[in-house]
Amino acid sequence: MNRNGISEIDVMKNFNVFAIAPFYNEVHSSQILTYDYGNFASVKNVYQLLDDICIYFGSDLNGRLKSARRILRIRKNPPLVISEKREIVAMQLPCAGFREPLWAIDMGFDVKPVDKNHCYVIFRNHERFLIRLSAEKVWERRRLALALLYETKYVTGKPSFISL
């Protein structure tokens, strides 16, 4: 809870969150980045925040990751659907200088290559993060995140387009 008495879950439920990022200092471990509320620092780490919002929408983080791995048939660093109804999806990106990943929630970002193994992810408010992946890998992870959202929201129970 911050100085205004707003909890992390309230920020994630009620504001336009575009990412959850690692943010290390003496007190905080992460920050929730929003377009309309600004940055909200938290003592919880990135995974605890994601687990909280996943539980709010009906499943814990491990359940969402397990589901994504099964649907997409990938093992490492899958995206996850936080809410099918609200069409909230998140993808992990290894953020340079941090051991925890940046979780991008707004898929409307831009990518600017730096070199063959690094790029910048630039969000609509011009906030940018140096990512330890090539631009092509970031676009592929974005494609998988959107495919997972489509699969869980519109195709569940019908023949899968991912296996084609």
- What ranges in the chain are assigned the alpha helix state H? 8-14, 46-56, 61-72, 135-150
Q: Is the pLDDT of residue 71 over 60?
A: yes
Specify the pTM.
Answer: 0.88
Q: Is the pLDDT of residue 164 over 50?
A: no
Q: Answer with the residue of higher pLDDT: 117 or 151.
A: 117
63-77, 83-97, 126-140 — which one is most confidently predicted on average?
126-140
| Arithmetic mean of pLDDT, 49-68 | 92
pLDDT at 156 (0 to 100): 61
Q: If pLDDT is split at 50, 70 and 90, which confidence band does 143 have?
A: very high
Give the single-character DSSP code of 105.
-
Q: Is the pLDDT of residue 117 over 90?
A: yes
For the chain, percent of residues with pLDDT exceeding 70: 91
pLDDT at 1 (0 to 100): 53
